[in-house]
Amino acid sequence: MSASSGAGATPRLALVMIVRDEERFLEAHLRYHGALGVTRAFVYLDRCTDRSAEIVARFPWADAIRRDRDPVDRFLSEHQVRVLGDAIGRAREAGFDWLLHIDADEFARGASDDASSAVGSLLRLLEEVSPETEQVILPPVDVLPTALAPGEPFHRLHWILQRGKLRRRILDPSSGAMRMLDKRIGHTRGKAIVRTAVEVKPLDAHRWGRAADGEELVSERRGRLYHFVVVDGEGWWSKHRRLAEYPGVWSKGKAVAFPKQAWKEAAVRMTLEEATAYFDRWVRVAPWRLWLPRLLGRVARDDFVERVLAAIEAAGDGVE
């Protein structure tokens, strides 16, 4: 079955994500994207030991699909490509026009900055693309890990690195040396919404290509992707302990750069208390560090995710 909306019809949008113990983000993630226009979520559970499956089950429009990483998949990208290949078929069969792939710590947004009009904003974004467009790229912004009070939810983080870098010297916990952190800690390629009527295959977690030869699709850059890369010490510790099972090189042979590889190596040797102390001292961004980047336009305050979630809560929508 090939999904295709008629002229003037509202596009139908599905979402796919791979989840491994992401209960911290998962309920807010599904509530938020349901409000912005997603009407089906294919949530692939990879060796989850937390409440992820229970949370997905509370959303009637979300499917929990158990798909543990195959041991033959040495790289995370190999598992991601297998899952995305399955998900595009499910989305087509269910009659969806577009498929969005993001992680549980990533929140997509349309063009509007008005949270009160956020309902369906991803659909409005898709309505505005050219008929020739086959893939929409959501440019990413890092949500900076500033201070959170104990028990405060991740979406209370409101400072984003919207361009450039936030250069600072931090401790390399794998070697004990001081090193310059002069890059974003999140990815820079963004994530894609692909048109299901096109014969495509996943190239990696970020892009799709033509099924026949992997050639580039006709693409537009629109919207925004908020990436809550790390939010506190416990999240930093658990995330990098999970990533430590993967090699110190990417699938194409390039070394995993600082700080990610150093954090992977260190996290498996740290206790939670040690990880929290390291995060608070070296990873968390102190308010005084924001002054100059704000002046230069690199850092801005953006509470869109928080405002959308607050509006959903006020309306009593999003979950049964």
All structural domains of the chain with their residue ranges: 13-315
Asked if 69 contacts 79 with a C-beta cutoff of 8 angstroms, the reply is yes
Structure-block tokens of residue 119: 């309902």
Asked if 161 contacts 299 with a C-beta cutoff of 8 angstroms, the reply is yes
Q: What's the rounded Cα separation, in Å, for the pair 72 and 251?
A: 13
Number of residues assigned to the chain: 320
- Give Cα separations from 126 to 2, 43, 134, 221, 276 (angstroms): 18, 22, 11, 11, 41
Amino acid occupying residue 165: K
Going residue by residue through the chain, which has 320 residues, state the pLDDT in tens, using 9 for 90 and above.
334 455 568 999 999 999 999 999 999 999 999 999 999 999 999 999 999 999 999 999 999 999 999 988 999 999 999 999 999 999 999 999 999 999 999 999 997 777 667 777 999 999 999 999 999 999 999 999 999 998 899 999 999 998 898 999 999 999 999 999 988 999 999 999 999 999 999 999 999 999 999 999 999 999 999 999 999 999 999 999 999 999 999 988 999 999 999 999 999 999 999 999 999 999 999 999 999 999 999 999 999 999 999 999 988 865 65
Q: pTM (2 decimals)?
A: 0.94
The number of angstroms, rounded, from the C-alpha of 251 to the middle of its chain's C-alpha atoms is 20
Task: Count H helices and E strands in the chain, helices first.
Answer: 9, 16
Instruction: Give the CATH class of 13-315.
Output: alpha beta
